[in-house]
Structure 1
Amino acid sequence: MALLPEVHLVAGTPAEALRLAPVAQAMREQGKLTPVLVATGDDTDGVDRVLAAFGFTPAVTLPAGADQSETMRRFDDLWASRTPAAVLVRDGLGQALAAFWRRVPVVQIDAGRRSGELGSATPLEAQRRLLAQVVTVHLAATPLTAMNLLDERVVAGDVLLTGGTAQDAAQLLAARTLAAPQRAGRTVVLGVPTERADAIAPALRYLAGRHADLEVVRAAGTARGLELATLLAQAYLVVTDDEDLVEEALAAYCPVLLIGSEARHAEALHAGSARLVPPDPAAITGEVAELLEGRVRRDAMALAGNPYGDGLAAYRVAQATAALLGHGQFPDPMPATPTAGVAR
């Protein structure tokens, strides 16, 4: 029997592991590729824990280097001895460059995400734009992110609208959760960086004093997997500026108060499943109080659904990767308007 082409799925953070695990499962089920999960980054233990929630163990663990050049060297050494047919990444610039120089095709999920903050203190925006230059197939989660790529003169035939796999992950984890999701409680999940939590947490504590049934839970920035999936499934509301947590909350059909850049989540704001709030205690207090005191408003946000995926993205990603390697046809793109979820 001929060996199936080996595809390396590189997870550099727990959030990336969450989105790649459904793809690995879809590749196994389709039977055209051999998925090889690679754990890297500064938190390989966190990556391992997330993959374990899906029943996976990374075949390779390769901690990131001190800088991009060191990361590239480590992956170049890996792929010199174990050359994959393709490499799948999300935001991994060093890994993508190492694959590119070895002439290994690079497939990117969640391609085209942009904040418009190219000159900001964080290098993420610049890295994402650079990454687009070496990607072979760009798999976008939404029409807007696909348009971002076309605006940057990426060849249209290299872009495919697949949806994001956070929705797939939420559905897989829900099937593994023993207890059925309950939304009878009044849990508000606070998922923000420490510097903003100091300003926002007092507002939520004040609200907890006014609403005896309100519980405020702080979600750790690196927490992913069954525990967080269960929490989001039961949450009444999420307050966050964590770009990944926004998508994961909406995948659980939990409304989000978004603190931060409008450009990062224009789709959710337009759909109505998220609201933009300034990082001000008074503003947070008012918005949370409105949704606590008006269940209809909160449920209307939940019913707006998840604009980032329809639960079939992982199969499209797996099929597109196989097609790139000459095994079958590319999938049809995701419908522009996924089915809205049902508030629970």
Structure 2
Amino acid sequence: MKKILIVFGTRPEAIKMAPLVKKLYKEVDFNTKVCVTAQHREMLDQVLAFFKITPDYDLDLMKKNQTLNQLSAKILSTIDSVLEDYKPDLVLVHGDTTTSSMVALASFHKNIKVGHVEAGLRTYNKSAPFPEEINRQITGRLADFHFAPTKQSQVNLVKEKVDINNIVVTGNTVIDALFWGVKHINLDRKDIIEIKDFLWKDKKLIVVTGHRRESFGDKFYDFCSALKTLSERNDVQIIYPVHLNPNVQEVVYKTLKNAKNVILIPPLDYEAFIWLLNQSYMIITDSGGVQEEAPSLKKPVLVTREVTEREEAVKQGTVKLVGTNKIKILKYANLLLDDESFYNSMAAKKNPYGDGKASAIIIDFLKHNF
């Protein structure tokens, strides 16, 4: 029986790996264990609780204000004991985090095969998204098996001389997680009930998130200024779960605390957040996962980034890249609010990131190729 170790450390990784973990637990061909670095702590634990996953190893590495270099060094130095204890045949990592790239490197150093879930996304701009683009490229160079969510991701990998026989196009596991999550939402939760109490039924709900490092500073002020202007419309309500990063908190509360029709709330856990997304009319975000989830909920997305590694969504028309440019954000937000045909042209498109069967495709590949 082959031994698989799944390692992740952040909330987005946990969401996207959870459906794969749950399916692998049921497979008799594999013995599967989970290790978390806890690169995020509280947000990670919320996802684990929702999906009912208990890690076999918890490195508990989150420390306030630690640098990327400090975190990287900790991951490299602490994952060794897990690899030595479990002796996996394959380590599965996800996406673009420091956890993914450093665990892939540590596994490579020990001649352990690496599988990369959500492989092949690229902007080819090492500063955007930062540091995720380079994390992806590093992990891609170290991986033995590449689970690409789309054909374009596969093309990117082939251009980088990855053997096409080691690439499988799967769709994105975030859709697997979304479909499972929507079915298991507890509508009697206190935070969901509280949000229901301040939702205005006669207004169009805009859900906002923003936290990207490359937008900090003047760009983030422009983004918030656009939201403030947008909030002056009488037909909208903006709900913004504000990221805990001080660079985000300071600007958001300074600009939007007293803005008309804006409600600022603490970050939501995954269960409450996907419920809120489902209530929205439209979404303004710099999140990669939301770009993938929203089309399955039939919600148009304005992406406040200059470039995105989710090119398929842009080409399909389910998202619109607007950056942090105030004029551009307002132009397309007002179009979505005022022009029903434009709204439908985005909301009605098929999701390019799959149909919720990515985890099953990954497991089938492993059964026949590993």
Equivalent runs, 1:204-219 vs 2, <5 Å: 204-212=227-235, 214-219=236-241
Decide whether the 8 Å contact of 2:5 with 2:91 is kept in 1: yes
Cα separation, 2, equivalents of 1:224 and 1:308: 23
Change (3 A) 1:34 1:280: same
- Equivalences for 1:1-344 in 2 at 5 Å? 4-64=1-61, 66-90=70-94, 91=96, 92-118=100-126, 122-179=130-187, 186-193=204-211, 195=217, 196-212=219-235, 214-221=236-243, 223-325=268-370
> How far apart in 1 are the matches of 2:276 and 2:338?
21
Cα separation, partners in 2 of 1:266 and 1:96, compared to 1, 3 Å: same
Contact 1:240–1:258 (CA under 8 A) maintained in structure 2: yes
Cα distance in 2 for residues equivalent to 1:72 and 1:323 = 31
**Once the 2 structures are TM-superposed, how far is the Cα of residue 204 of structure 1 from its aligned partner?**
2.7
**Is contact 2:295-2:349 (8 Å) kept?**
no
Partner SS for 1:111: coil
Measure the CA separation in 1 of the matches of 2:344 and 2:28. Answer: 40
Structure 1 residue runs of 5 or longer lacking an equivalent are: 326-344
Residues 174-217 of structure 1: per-residue CA shift (max 9 Å, x gap):
010245999976211111126444322333333333234x2211
- Higher deviation after alignment, 197-206 or 254-263: 197-206
- Give the drift of 1:315: 0.9
Residues of 1 paired with 2:206 and 2:346: CA distance? 15
Change (3 A) 1:288 1:153: same
Asked if the contact 1:190–1:218 (Cα under 8 Å) also holds between the matched residues in 2, the reply is yes
TM-score by structure 1 length? 0.85
Counterparts in 2 of 1:121 and 1:168: CA distance versus 1, 3 Å = closer
Q: Which runs of 5+ in 2 are unaligned?
A: 62-68, 244-266
Q: CA deviation at 1:108?
A: 0.5
CA-CA distance at 1:86 after TM superposition = 1.3
Rounded to whole Å, the distance in 2 between the matches of 1:192 and 1:116 is: 22
Provide closer, same or farther for how the CA distance between residues 234 and 104 of structure 1 changes in structure 2, counting only shifts above 3 A: same
Describe the superposition over 1:86-111 as per-residue Cα deviations: whole angstroms up to 9, x where unpaired: 11101311111111222221111110
Q: Confirm or deny: 8 A CA contact 2:128 2:307 kept in the other structure.
A: no
**TM-score, structure 2 length as denominator?**
0.79
The letter of the residue matching 2:240 is R
Letter in 2 for 1:96: A
Check whether the contact 2:57–2:82 (CA below 8 A) recurs between aligned residues.
no
Give yes or no for contact 1:27–1:315 (8 Å, CA) kept in 2: no
Higher mean alpha-carbon deviation, 231-240 vs 278-287, is at: 278-287
Q: Deviations over 1:235-271 (max 9, x none)?
A: 1111112223322333433211112234522211110
